Structure 1
């Protein structure tokens, strides 16, 4: 699967995550801003990367602004953005 255009999904509300995907040729790159980055930043990046790989995305730039989203919300926002962009 390939992302053809920049897409957004999610909100900046509490307990949500705003995901922006941009086509890239440099593998999976994740830029994360999070209110819980020190505690969970690596885990959030892994959840995003695992979902992208599960959907067959191998090259993408992800900009994520997290406001304390749980794993299932992160996966849903990534999936929604991918489906919008394909």
Structure 2
């Protein structure tokens, strides 16, 4: 019984340390600047995908430059009788 109580006390101590570490990280300016950079990178990626990509494709098409769009093809080789269920 004492072993179980020691494990519970140790687990609660680790939990308190984790909560304290999380609070310190959330309240630090570095964490907020990382979050801001992450949001800015996401917004720039969305803008590049939705605004710049179609313009680039249209400019290439207007100048008769073709870039083949990659297609994924699944080929099944062999006989269906070879497959067992």
Q: Which TM-score band applies after superposition, normalised by the shorter structure? A: under 0.3
Bigger strand fraction: 1
TM-score normalised to the size of structure 2? 0.26
Q: Which has the higher contact order (CA 8 A, sep 6+)?
A: 1
TM-score normalised to the size of structure 1? 0.26
Which entry has the higher C-alpha Rg, 1 or 2? 2
Bigger helix fraction: 2
